[in-house]
Amino acid sequence: MKKLLSILGAVGLSAAGSSVAISCNFKGAKPPGFDINRNIKLQYGEEKVFNLTLKEKEPKKDTPIIVESSDIKIVSVISNIDKDTEGTGKFSITLKAISSGDANITIKYGEIYEDTISVKVGLKDKIDLSTIENKDLGKWSGSRDYPSDIEIVEKLNKVNLNLNLDYQEVEISAIVGKDKKLTSLITALETSINFKGNVTVTYEYSKNDKEEK
């Protein structure tokens, strides 16, 4: 009887030992699922499409597909389909960089597979205001003694297509000049995401009872 118990005990110990060994070998491991880089770098404003194919797992028809971003203020994500109706295990996701920072993207293929990728969004090269080509804003009139910061920036954007300068990204110094011919120094704030440096612009402005646009 003791011999039998010893044998059973040895078998039980061996099984337990095997179980522990398996748990340790696969702890933290994840079998390959989607053929996509787990660490993606994007530039501010960049939008990129990634084509995915399920690997090492058998796809099934009508499997739901869910994609989520840990921080949609940094990067957004959408899938071209929300269900694998053909059961091919193939679909695409589109990532759009909203602002600088880090975020994780979770990709779920039903209950079959789940994966997470890291996305780092960096700042694009800032536009140096001193390189702006057109610095003459032309002439206009308004109801105020002097034009507002918003007006000056709007005129600058008008003569420089695709500049897309926001008045909240700059500081405009005191207006200098006489006889309607004025100059202003526009300086990018340190907090500006898109611009740096400064530029001096010239224009003609006069006060009227009715503002002209």
Please identify, in words, the CATH class of the domain defined by 39-122: mainly beta
Quick: pLDDT tens for 53-69: 998 788 999 999 999 99
pLDDT for res 8: 41
List where CATH 2.60.40.10 sits in the chain.
39-122
Give the span between the Cα atoms of 206 and 213, in whole angstroms.
12
Give the pTM: 0.49
- Is the CA virtual torsion 151, 154, 158, 163 positive or negative? positive
Give me 201's structure tokens. Answer: 């612009």
- Alpha carbon dihedral 56, 58, 61, 66, in 10-degree steps, equals -40
Give the span between the Cα atoms of 75 and 68, in whole angstroms.
10
Quick: pLDDT tens for 105-164: 999 999 999 999 999 988 777 889 999 999 999 999 988 888 999 999 999 999 998 888
